[in-house]
Amino acid sequence: LNSVLQNVAASPGLREFLLAPEPAPPPEGETGAELSTALRRFVRRLHCAGAAAEPIRPVELLQAVSRRHAIYGRKAQQDAHEMLRQLLEGVRTEEAARLKSGAREATTKVSGEATTEPRTFIDDLFSGELRSTVVCLTCGAVSCSHEPFLDLSLPIPRTKMA
C-alpha cells in the first residue's frame, strides 16, 4: 500500500487535481465522495504541511477503501496492484456521479458505442483502449474488438546478465 500511495501522491495531473480546491459538495440526500475526500486529505497532508512531526498514516483512506471492499479492512498483506485498481475505480465512480449531477457531461466512446457517461480526470490520466484484430486464416474475415482499461499489465522480459 505504501508504494501505491507514494505513486498516487507523486503522479502529475492526479496530484494537481487532488491539491486543487475541492469541488462543490453533493446535493443534500446524495451520497458523498468519501473515497475521493479521504484521498484528497491524504495527499494534502503529504504536500501542504511541510515536514511532518510524525509519520503520516493513511488511516482515513484505508477505512474508506475497506468500507467499499472489506478485504482491505483485515490489516493483512494485500496486492498493491489490486489496491490501486480499487482506489482508481472508486474515485472514478464518485467523480462520475458528481459530474452527472453537474454540467460537465461529455459523450464517451466505450467499446465502439457512445454513452453519456461523463469523462473524469481518472479517465483522462489513466484510461486507454485495447484494440484486438483477429483474421480468419480460412476465409479472411476480420474481427475487431475494443476494450477500455484503466490499467494494463505487461510482461517484463528477462534480460541475460553479461
| Structural contact between residues 115 and 125, judged by C-beta atoms closer than 8 angstroms | no
| Structural contact between residues 12 and 91, judged by C-beta atoms closer than 8 angstroms | no
As a whole-number percent, the residues of the chain with pLDDT over 90 amount to 15
Cα–Cα distance measured from residue 127 to residue 88, given in angstroms and rounded to the nearest whole number: 10
One-letter amino acid identity for 49?
A
Q: Kindly report, residue by residue over 36-88, the tens digit of the pLDDT.
A: 889 998 888 888 767 777 888 888 888 888 888 777 666 666 678 888 888 89
How many CB atoms are located within 10 Å of the residue 84 CB?
19
Q: Is the pTM higher than 0.85?
A: no
| Structural contact between residues 65 and 83, judged by C-beta atoms closer than 8 angstroms | yes
Average pLDDT, the chain: 80
Most confident of 25-39, 63-77, 91-105, 118-132: 118-132
Q: Provide CB contacts within 8 A for 58, sequence distance 6+.
A: 1, 5, 42
Per-residue pLDDT, averaged over 91-120, amounts to 69
